[in-house]
């Protein structure tokens, strides 16, 4: 029996974006492509740590750019 390397509902490749204005990027994806927010984890200061969006049959992941993780 083979075991899948990917979680259920995810494609083989899921891009991860580091963006300077994460909330604006999320809203843009919702407005332009009808993306649905699957998960969201915020930092204590309110900035986005990690989010996952569903676009049609694909998941994209993103995080807020920072000094440690620049865009």
Q: Does residue 2 carry a pLDDT above 60? A: yes
Distances from the Cα of 22 to the Cαs of 7, 25, 39, 41, 52, in angstroms? 24, 5, 13, 12, 11
Q: Is the pTM of this model over 0.85?
A: no
Q: Please report whether residue 1 resides in a domain.
A: no
> pLDDT exceeding 70 applies to what percent of the chain?
99
Q: Count how many domains the chain has.
A: 1
Stronger pLDDT, 34 or 4, i.e. the higher one: 34
As beta bridge partners, residue 19 has 64
Instruction: Find the CATH number of the domain harbouring 20.
Output: 3.30.720.120
Q: Please report whether residue 8 resides in a domain.
A: no
Query: Is residue 7 very low, low, confident or very high in pLDDT (cuts 50, 70, 90)?
Result: confident
Q: Please report whether residue 49 resides in a domain.
A: yes
Q: Please report whether residue 71 resides in a domain.
A: no
Residue 24's domain spans which residues?
16-63
**Tens-place pLDDT, residues 27-59:** 999 999 999 999 999 999 988 999 999 999 999
Q: Please report whether residue 20 resides in a domain.
A: yes
Q: What are phi and psi of 58, to 5 degrees?
A: -125, 150
Q: Please report whether residue 70 resides in a domain.
A: no
Q: Please report whether residue 22 resides in a domain.
A: yes
């Amino acid at each position: 029996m083979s075991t899948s390397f990917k979680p259920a509902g995810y494609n083989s490749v899921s891009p991860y974006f580091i963006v300077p204005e994460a909330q604006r990027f999320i809203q843009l994806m919702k407005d332009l492509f009808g993306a649905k927010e699957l998960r969201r984890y915020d930092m204590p200061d309110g900035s986005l740590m990690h989010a996952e969006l569903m676009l049609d049959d694909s998941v994209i992941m993103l995080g807020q750019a920072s000094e440690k993780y620049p865009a």
